Structure 1
């Protein structure tokens, strides 16, 4: 994906803390761990955290593997 093609500077994704496999996928895709959004979504009757990963256009484009 080229950020400039779609006019983006930053993309992000999140997953629940108990879903470590999703975190591994995001990391392998070139995203960086940014942190935890505490109790940021009400899901299945409880407030839950979200682990956030992101990639910036300059970081992504500097990786020659993409």
Structure 2
């Protein structure tokens, strides 16, 4: 079953390279794809996708 989830919040962390996503309805899954499109500080666009598995989530 394919399900689109809403990102409630995206936060750039202090290292300037890590983005923390808040996704309220996220659950463990065998196959997940995260697509993103970001703008750099120079105004360039960076886009790609990440395919991953979530085995468990911290509480």
Q: Which has the higher strand share?
A: 2
TM-score, scaled to structure 2: 0.26
Larger radius of gyration: 1
Q: Which has the higher helix share?
A: 1
TM-score, scaled to structure 1: 0.25
Per chain length, whose mean CA-contact separation is higher, i.e. which structure has more relative contact order (CA < 8 Å, sep 6+)? 1
